[in-house]
């Protein structure tokens, strides 16, 4: 029959045992009205695509008129016939979620897992993206949403904010490829002004190194202590050293093969005498192949740890302790700063909870000392707590440059694939260049029969006619 409004209004459910009851329309093939036992009426469309019979609900009668539903049915059937579309599958895909949580999970599984920086991506997703947009549909994310997150993170960590936006941009480029958004969907992380970044230029000076070395030796974690010394002696990247294995050490050649490198190629790291001596003095954990063994999950049994040995993972905490110890040592060399630290320590001791462990001295936090010093007009000596773990690698590069080594050699030592990366150490070689020119100048002046002086004097030349 041809469906009419009168027919629809007059017909009630007459199925048996809650069976499906549909009034089919003669005008549009597959178009009909489904009547539920509850009395609710909805327009449906039955079609066949890719050899499969499908039925989808177009909309509720009363919300849609018969003419509107019939028009929609014709348009849908046209897409099925001409494009091979499956509108029900598209709707089910939309209903499944395609949320930011889905996109993040897919990104981590299909893309980040193959990247050297995959763990950093996971950290940023867990810290910044999921807490804010977990349930939001991918298609619903706007440029304003991304800009707001960028601004929020940038208030305290502008570099981190830029990295998060770059990550979102990459995710949406891949989202088109993976079908989360249509091909023409705009990337919401595009055209957002990044915070200005300056190249980090921090390394340990000759004055700072003794304090840091002493603080490293005072660190209780033996594995972390060895790791920090190896970073200073080799200039290896953080993960490359953490994943290094004993069977990759060539004792005869004095080399350590690093497989998990940034450029994905094995690198043979030359080991100096002090580095080899350190390795020889380090104890080995039975059954653990890593030079820097980890303790494994806290709740894992000894048997479970033996079956799945791990390398050191969390070196940031011991590194933070080392920096704090070195900074306090530097400050205590100043009488005023030392007196301030002692007074703050005594105040904390008096106010310490009676159940607190007595064996631990209540040393005030560095920020607390800074605030107290600023309030009392005390100028603290330079601190070391701004040094990052990667700055130990920069220290190796800068000290090599100051010793007169070529940029090419420094790039080989640090395994730089791009010469531009090594170029940042060029200025550290200025002292060597200056010394060479001083020597050259002295020879020139001596050959000319003049006495070199520390003062710059005019060199007179005879003008011939």
Taking each helix axis from N to C end, the angle separating 366-376 and 316-332, rounded to the nearest 10 degrees, works out to 30
298 phi and psi, to 5 degrees? -60, -40
Residue 33 parent element (H or E) = strand 31-35
Burial class (CB in 10 A: 0-12, 13-18, 19+), 384: buried
Residue pair 200/159 in contact (Cβ under 8 Å)? The answer is no
- Exposure string for 51-85, b = 16+ CB within 10 A, e = fewer: eeebebebeebeebebeebbebbeebbeebeeeeb
DSSP state of 389: H
Residue pair 269/279 in contact (Cβ under 8 Å)? The answer is no
Q: Which of 52, 31, 26, 30 is nearest to 43 (CA)?
A: 31
Q: Which of 137, 99, 104 is nearest to 121 (CA)?
A: 104
Alpha-carbon separation of residue 240 from 155, 265, 429 (angstroms): 32, 11, 27
Burial class (CB in 10 A: 0-12, 13-18, 19+), 160: middle
User: What are the residue ranges of helices labelled H in 13-134?
Assistant: 66-83, 87-96, 100-110, 118-124, 130-133
| pLDDT value of residue 148 | 96
For 144, how many CA atoms within 13 A lie in the half-sphere containing its CB?
1
55 phi and psi, to 5 degrees? -135, 130
Tell the residue number behind the tokens 């305290």, with chain if given.
156
Angle among Cα 345, 348, 352 to the nearest 5 degrees reads 140
| pLDDT value of residue 353 | 57
| pLDDT value of residue 359 | 44
CA distance 430 to 427: 5
| pLDDT value of residue 393 | 92
Residue pair 309/296 in contact (Cβ under 8 Å)? The answer is yes
| pLDDT value of residue 51 | 84
| pLDDT value of residue 454 | 47
| pLDDT value of residue 429 | 65
CA distance 117 to 239: 10
CA distance 26 to 3: 8
Q: How many CB atoms lie within 10 A of CB 344?
A: 18
DSSP states of 283-294: ---TT--BSSB-
Q: What are the helix and strand counts (H, E) for the chain? A: 20, 7
291-296 own/partner pairs: CB under 8 Å, 24+ apart:
291/241, 291/244, 291/245, 291/246, 291/249, 292/223, 292/226, 292/227, 292/241, 292/242, 292/244, 293/223, 294/223
What three-state secondary structure class fits 235? coil
Burial class (CB in 10 A: 0-12, 13-18, 19+), 206: exposed
Residue pair 12/39 in contact (Cβ under 8 Å)? The answer is yes
Q: Which domains does the chain have, with CATH numbers?
A: 5-93 (3.30.160.390), 100-178 (1.10.150), 389-447 (no CATH)
| pLDDT value of residue 133 | 96
| pLDDT value of residue 462 | 47
Give the chain's residues under pLDDT 70: 92-97, 296-306, 352-362, 429-436, 451-465
CA distance 403 to 394: 14
| pLDDT value of residue 451 | 61
Indicate the Cα dihedral angle 372, 377, 381, 382, nearest 10°. 80
């Amino acid at each position: 029959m041809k469906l009419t409004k009168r027919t629809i209004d007059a017909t009630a459910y007459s199925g048996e045992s809650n069976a499906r009851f549909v009034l089919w329309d003669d005008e549009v093939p597959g178009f009909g009205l489904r009547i539920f036992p509850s009395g609710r009426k909805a327009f449906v469309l039955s079609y066949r695509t890719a050899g499969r019979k499908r039925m989808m609900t177009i909309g509720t009668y009363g919300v849609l008129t018969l003419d509107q539903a019939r028009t929609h049915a014709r348009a849908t059937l046209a897409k099925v016939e001409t494009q091979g579309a499956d509108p029900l599958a598209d709707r089910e895909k939309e209903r499944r979620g395609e949320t930011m949580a889905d996109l993040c999970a897919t990104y981590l599984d299909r893309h980040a897992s193959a990247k050297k920086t995959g763990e950093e991506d996971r950290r940023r997703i867990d810290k910044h993206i999921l807490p804010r947009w977990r349930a939001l549909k991918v298609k619903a994310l706007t440029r304003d949403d991304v800009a707001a997150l960028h601004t929020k993170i940038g208030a305290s960590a502008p570099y981190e904010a830029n990295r998060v936006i770059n990550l979102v941009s990459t995710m949406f480029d891949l989202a088109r490829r993976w079908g989360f958004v249509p091909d023409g969907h705009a990337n919401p992380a595009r055209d957002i002004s990044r915070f200005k970044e300056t190249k980090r230029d921090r390394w340990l000076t000759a004055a700072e190194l003794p304090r840091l070395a002493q603080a490293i030796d005072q660190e209780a974690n033996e594995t972390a202590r060895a790791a920090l010394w190896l970073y200073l002696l080799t200039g290896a990247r953080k993960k490359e050293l953490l994943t290094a294995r004993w069977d990759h050490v060539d004792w005869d050649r004095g080399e350590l093969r690093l497989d998990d490198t940034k450029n994905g190629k094995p690198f043979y790291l030359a080991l100096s005498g002090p580095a080899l001596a350190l390795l020889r003095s380090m104890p080995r954990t039975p059954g653990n192949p890593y030079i820097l063994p980890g303790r494994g999950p806290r709740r894992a049994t000894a048997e479970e740890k033996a079956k799945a040995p791990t390398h050191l993972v969390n070196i940031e905490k011991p590194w933070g302790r080392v920096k704090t110890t070195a900074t306090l040592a530097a400050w205590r060399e100043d009488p005023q700063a030392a007196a301030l630290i002692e007074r703050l320590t005594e105040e904390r001791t008096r106010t310490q909870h009676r159940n607190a462990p007595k064996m631990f001295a209540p040393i005030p936090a560095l920020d607390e000392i800074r605030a107290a010093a600023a309030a009392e007009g005390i100028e603290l000596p330079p601190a070391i707590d701004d040094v990052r773990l990667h700055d130990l690698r920069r220290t190796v590069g800068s000290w090599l440059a100051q010793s007169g080594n070529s940029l090419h050699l420094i790039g080989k030592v640090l395994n730089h694939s791009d010469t531009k990366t090594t170029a940042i150490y060029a200025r550290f070689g200025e002292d060597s260049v200056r010394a060479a020119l001083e020597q050259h100048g002295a020879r020139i002046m001596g050959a000319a029969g003049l006495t070199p002086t520390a003062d710059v004097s005019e060199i007179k030349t005879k003008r011939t006619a």
